[in-house]
Amino acid sequence: MARQDSEGIVIHPNLPELYRKKVGKLQQALQYEATRPQVVETIRSLVDRIEILPGEARGRCEVTIVGALAQILAFAQKTTATSTGVAVHVSGLRHR
């Protein structure tokens, strides 16, 4: 059964599998020097910006991804997007 998001758009039930296959192809393409620049550019085009702020604990940081990649991740996590943009927070990363 197709899932409907918060804006009323019906999402095809095979969408997660489609993205899984596409990510697999990107991972494979990253392994080859000839295709790597194109793959990196494709991935970069999905990110508007990355914000890195100090975390609450020493040596930790908070990372926020803003852009289409964040929308994909938010959808995969079944969260809702705001009209001002989408951000996905990654907590607890250690700075090395």
Domain that holds residue 53: 48-96
Same domain, 12 and 56: no
What digits encode the pLDDT tens for the residues 23-45? 888 899 999 999 999 999 988 89
Same domain, 56 and 28: no
Residue with more model confidence, 5 or 62: 62
Same domain, 60 and 86: yes
3-class SS at 6?
Answer: coil
Same domain, 13 and 28: yes
Residue with more model confidence, 68 or 10: 68
Same domain, 36 and 9: yes
Same domain, 33 and 57: no
String of DSSP letters for 18-58 = HHHHHHHHHHHHHTSTTTHHHHHHHHHHT-SEEEEEE-SST
The token duo for 52 is 């890195």
The token duo for 24 is 């697999």
Tell me if the pTM is above 0.75: no
Same domain, 25 and 63: no
The domain total for the chain is 2
Find out whether 35 and 58 touch, Cβ atoms under 8 Å.
no
Residue 16 CA to its chain's centroid (Å): 13
How many Cβ atoms from other residues are within 10 Å of residue 52's Cβ? 12
Question: Residue 6: its pLDDT value, please?
Answer: 57
What digits encode the pLDDT tens for the residues 53-95? 888 888 888 888 888 888 877 777 765 454 444 555 555 555 4
